[in-house]
Structure formats: structure tokens, C-alpha cells
Structure 1
Amino acid sequence: MASFLGRRQRMQRRLSPLLNTPLLPLGMVVIGGACGYRLSEGWDWGDCFWQVAITLTTVGYGDQTVVSPAGRWVTVLMLLGGIVVVQQTLQWLLSLQESGYFQRRRRWQRMQELQRVRNHVIVCGYGRIGREIAAQLSAENVAVLVIETDPERIAEARNRNLEVLNGDATLDETLQEAGIQHCRALVAALPSNAANLYVVLSARGLFPNCRLIARADSGEAERKLRQAGADAVVSPYIAGGRIMAATALRPLALNFLDLLAGSNCEVEEFQLSDNPQLAHAVMGRSLIELDLGRRTGGALVLAIQGPDGLLANPSGNTTLSLGQRLVVMGSPKQLEALELLLGSALQTCSAVQG
């Protein structure tokens, strides 16, 4: 009995919007008029509905003539009812347009489409930094979703075939529409440190496991963004200065990185699980024991980040523990083999440089 009442209530909720609109009375006039012509004139259904259409629209082509008195009464009643119903329908459609219903409907459909996106990177802000980030990610065939409010920047992003969400990235509802629960990372590249701080706080609250990268213009802003939950904070000015200084002092090293970016070799981060039951296969075992290089066809562990900091160029005697992050270089095939080899011990995998 309860299930029947529940189905009845759901059906009533579905039908109530229809009953509150002039569409149902309009349909009744059309069907009633067609049935009246069918009974009075004996026409087929196609001619009946055609007569209803030209009568309600007052076109009256004259290709059919109502000859019986009953048919004339049907026409009179249909015209009287049609004038009222058609006028109400037009007013209803205009009210929907004025209230923004169709815009909300299109936004809802757009939101449904965005919710189906998976494993994408959300870029908040499409300024100079955001454009470069989106271009680099697109070059790596990574799905990108841009959140922006400026109309010109939105048009520019769409001209580059990027998915764009017109909204304020500091709001929770905007991040939810962008599918933050299913993204691989979020980049806060807004021009304001305060706005990036709001984005990081909102994103961390909505999806604690999301990898957050934020832009900062000062050391104080970097400290606050890290306290808010950002996994990485980048200052374009500091990073640019370091690269220019490194170019002056170590040009060969930077040339190597440029060559690496244009090759088939990639660098990825492999985050190990902090669950002992999942990471039991690798926990406490050394790199020599695991023999990752031979078993993956040549993948090279460049560094291991743990609670004690970053260990570069680890030796074969280095043992793995829970929650560590491995920085590994290799071809896509080798990195895929390592991902399969780690199995349940692997929590996340993200590209560092391609």
C-alpha cells in the first residue's frame, strides 16, 4: 500500500507542472475538434487534424468544407475555446521567456553534460597563466574544463575547443557543476590571491582527495594557500626568475629538460596508498627486491618523497613505506607497466612532465 501511494505521489508531482500549463487544455481542444469533425463529417484523421490546424490558426485554406450543421457547431465551439486557449498559451510562453526559464533549462542541460566528464583538469581563470596551462594540458591530450566569467576570455577558450563553464570559481555550486568529484586536479589560476584562497578552501571542503595547485604572487600568499590545503603553490615571478637564473648557470640541464618534453619519455608521480592492507605487496621492500626497472622494461625511479622530505636518486637499498610518492621517468608503456605492477598499492597517478 505504501509503495502504491509513493508511486501515486511521484506521478502527481510529474503531472502537476503539466496541469498548471495551458498545454493540456490546448491538447484537449485539438483532439476534441478532430473527434468532432470525424463524427460529423466522416473525414479521415489526417483531414480532421488538418482542419483543426487551419481553423485555430485562422488560415482557412478552403481545401475542405464543413457541410453539416454539426460540423459547423464543432467549428464554432473550437474557435471560441481556441481563442482563449491559444492566447493563454502564447502568454505562458512569453512569461517563460521573460522569467529566464529557457536560459535555466539550457544551463541545467549544460550542467548534466559537464557532470559526465571524468578524469579532467579544472582550470579556474583563463588569463595569461590559465591559457598557457590549458594549452599544455591539451597538448598532452588531457581533458580540460575552464571556469571563467569574462565574456571575451570565454569566447577565446571556446574558439580553442575547450570546455568552458561560465561561473564564479569561488562558489561551491560552480565547482560542483564543474565535476570536482571526478576531476584529476584543480588549478586555481585567478589573478587575485584572495580568490585563489577561496577556491582552494571550497575545493578542499567539497572533495578532500582532489589535487590542488594554486597560483600565488607572494611568499605570504603561498604560506596561506598551503595552510588552506593546496598541494602545490606556484609563483609565476619566482618560477620565472629561477628558470632564467638556471638558464644562465646551467644551460645544458635546461636543454635536457626541453628535450625530455619533446620526447616519448614522461615523468609521473605515483602516490602509494597509506592503507597497510592495500600496500602490503610493496611495504617494507627495497627497490632491488621489487626490481621495478626490469619488470617494467626500463622505468627509472628519480626520487621518493616521504615524511622526511624528498630523496633524490634513491639507491637500490631504499625501502618503500606507506604514503610515499614516487617520481618515475619512462615511456608511456613503461609507466603503464609500473601502474599495473603496483596494483592496489597505488592510490593516484599524475603526470609531472611529458
Structure 2
Amino acid sequence: MDKKISRLKSHYIICGAGEICWFIMGEFLEANLPFIVIDKNQEFIDELTEKGIMALKGDSSDNKILEAAGIKHAKGLLAIHSTDLENLLTVMSSRQMNPDMRIIAAVTDNANCAKFKRFGTDTIIPVSEVTGRRIAAAAVHPTVTSFFDIDGRAEEGISGSVIEIELEQGSCLVDRPQKSSNMLSKTGATILCLIRGDEIQVNPGLNERFREKDRLLVFGTIAQINEFKKLACPGDSASKEASGLGLSRESLGSLFGKWQRRAKRSINNISKSVKRRAPKSGHRG
């Protein structure tokens, strides 16, 4: 495992366990992105490493732990601890060690967003606000929401997703009009949007010549998107061997369920213990 970690390049560092972590790992597994998890819970780390997922026990704000996770070669870091303080300390340490990588942080108190921005967070996710907007959208625009919702698509048999791809030199799309690459017929994936600096083009024309560093929003099934990435991003180093992932999303879901059941038993045991210790009600004469 140590050798695999030392070979990590252009990977993501996930800092913090919990339910959010499981969903992120599921998405990364499906997209075949290399990642490593950092958390203080030894049992959680052991479970992941037994399944072939790279993980380190420790404090994610500790420079030595971050260095061991390959932060200098990381593409991004996700701070998703349960407290804003842990996430902020992680952001502060990681930004100093890698000024160029993308940092994403979950924030529970919106009043702390400015602090995260000040210390170099690229994307701030205010958890309560995002959840509230998502619930409201499901009420106001139920059809649109269910179409773009991963779990909803699975239930309804619709398997589609939107991802962002940045074009690099050597891509079959660079310096060529879109129609000559014929990516739709080759992969089945559709280019929804072109982002070039501050310019955004929805549904770019067939004569549009893409450039290096252009970002594309691509829609399709996971298989279609993976095929699109193979052709459009030949230098992409993300692979199952590189990420050390021999685990399917279904297996990860099973492991997540196991942890949920274990947490529920722990809560029940604590509840029973509290009830046993609680003084019996009644009037003392």
C-alpha cells in the first residue's frame, strides 16, 4: 500500500470520514479517479485498506500526514470533516504545501465562508444551504431534479451524468473543428457547454475550434463519458492501477451499510446505557 501511495500523481485527498465521504468515494470509483482518504479513526482506515482503498490514519492538518498522502503532487483536496474548525485547519495547512491544487471545503456555518475563502479555498460548499436548495428544487422542479439526480436515475433506468473535462495539448479536439472529431458518433456523449476563460458557450457549434485549456461540460452515461475521456484526454493518468481501486461502487455501498448498522448499534447501546443510569421518577417521601 505504501508503494502505491508513493506513486500517486494528480490524485485527490479526501479529509474526513462520515456519510459524505462514502458518497464521494462512490463517485470517484465510478469516474475511475485516484484518491486517498485521511481520518483519525483507525477502524475506518483499516476497513478501507482491507478493500484496497488507499487511506492514512492521522490529522489532516498535520504537514507530515499531508506529505505522506502526496499533497505536493495532488490535483485536489476535499475537506469534509464534521466541524468547520477541522476543515479550516486542513485548508490552511494544505494550501501552504500546494498553492496550485484545487481545494474544496464543506462548511456547516455560513458565517465561516469568508474565512475559508481568505485562506485559499477554491470552492466552498455550505452544506445546509445546498441541502435546502436541493430540497426546494425537488419540490419546484421535480422532473428536472429527478433527471439529474443519480439515485433517481438509477431507480427510473436513466443513466446519465454531466462532467467537466479540461482539454490538454495532444487531445484530438484541440485545434480542430468539433465536426471533424465526430465525438458524438464515436462515444455517444454530448458536449453541452464550452467554457473558455470568462466566456461560456452553450451548445457550441460544429465549426467551433477547441483550444488547449478549454473546459467542456459533457453529458452521457458513465461508459460514454469514459470513452470520451479516453479520446479527448489521452494524457489522463487516472486508472484503476494508479488509484489502487479494486472495489466496485456496489461493494463500497455494502461497506457503507455495514458502518451504518454498526453506528446504529452503538447509538442504541448508548441509549440503553443512559436509560439504565437515569434515576427512576417518583416522589420521595
TM-score calculated relative to the size of structure 1: 0.53
Paired letter, 1:269? E
Q: Which residue of 2 aligns with 1:282?
A: 174
**1:335 is aligned to 2:225:** yes
Q: Which piece of structure 1 moves more, 250-259 or 217-226?
A: 217-226
Q: Which residue of 1 aligns with 2:145?
A: 254
Tell me the distance in 2 between the aligned counterparts of 1:320 and 1:248. Answer: 38
Q: How many residues align structurally?
A: 236
Equivalent of 2:78, from 187, 194, 201?
187
CA 1:116–1:240: 2 relative to 1, 3 Å = same
Equivalent of 1:172, from 63, 68, 72?
63
Q: Is the 8 A contact 1:272 1:348 kept in 2?
A: no
Secondary structure of the structure 2 residue equivalent to 1:198: helix
Paired letter, 1:125? G
Tell me the distance in 2 between the aligned counterparts of 1:279 and 1:192. Answer: 41
Deviation at 1:239, TM superposition (A): 1.3
Q: Is the 8 A contact 2:194 2:216 kept in 1?
A: yes
Secondary structure of the structure 1 residue equivalent to 2:188: coil
Q: Which residue of 2 aligns with 1:233?
A: 124
* Identity across the alignment (%): 28
Equivalent of 1:267, from 162, 179, 195?
162
CA 1:222–1:290: 2 relative to 1, 3 Å = farther
Q: Which residue of 2 aligns with 1:43?
A: none
Paired letter, 1:282? V
Paired letter, 2:167? L
Tell me the distance in 2 between the aligned counterparts of 1:115 and 1:348. Answer: 15
1:87-121 CA-to-partner distances (Å, cap 9, x unmatched) read: xxxxxxxxxxxxxxxxxxxxxxx755532455653
User: Max radius of gyration: which structure?
Assistant: 1
Secondary structure of the structure 2 residue equivalent to 1:191: coil
Q: Is the 8 A contact 2:13 2:36 kept in 1?
A: yes
CA 1:133–1:223: 2 relative to 1, 3 Å = same
Deviation at 1:173, TM superposition (A): 1.5
Tell me the distance in 2 between the aligned counterparts of 1:170 and 1:331. Answer: 37
Q: Highest relative contact order (Cα 8 Å, sep 6+), 1 or 2?
A: 2
Paired letter, 2:195? Q
CA 1:302–1:228: 2 relative to 1, 3 Å = farther
CA 1:160–1:233: 2 relative to 1, 3 Å = farther
Deviation at 1:155, TM superposition (A): 5.8
Secondary structure of the structure 2 residue equivalent to 1:186: strand
CA 1:204–1:263: 2 relative to 1, 3 Å = farther
Equivalent of 2:216, from 322, 326, 337?
326
Q: Which piece of structure 1 moves more, 261-270 or 227-236?
A: 261-270
Q: How does 1:63-74 map to 2 (within 5 A)?
A: none
Equivalent of 1:130, from 18, 21, 30?
21
Paired letter, 2:165? F
Secondary structure of the structure 2 residue equivalent to 1:129: helix
Q: Structure 2 stretches of 5 or more lacking a match?
A: 240-248, 250-285
Secondary structure of the structure 1 residue equivalent to 2:130: helix
**1:298 is aligned to 2:188:** yes
Q: Is the 8 A contact 1:271 1:325 kept in 2?
A: yes
1:57-109 CA-to-partner distances (Å, cap 9, x unmatched) read: xxxxxxxxxxxxxxxxxxxxxxxxxxxxxxxxxxxxxxxxxxxxxxxxxxxxx
1:96-149 CA-to-partner distances (Å, cap 9, x unmatched) read: xxxxxxxxxxxxxx7555324556532101134334433444466655422112
Secondary structure of the structure 2 residue equivalent to 1:215: strand
Deviation at 1:166, TM superposition (A): 1.4
Q: Is the 8 A contact 1:121 1:186 kept in 2?
A: yes
Tell me the distance in 1 between the aligned counterparts of 2:238 and 2:42. Answer: 35
Q: Is the 8 A contact 1:286 1:317 kept in 2?
A: yes
CA 1:197–1:269: 2 relative to 1, 3 Å = same
Q: Is the 8 A contact 2:172 2:231 kept in 1?
A: no
Paired letter, 2:128? Y
CA 1:341–1:249: 2 relative to 1, 3 Å = same
Paired letter, 1:272? L
Deviation at 1:229, TM superposition (A): 3.6
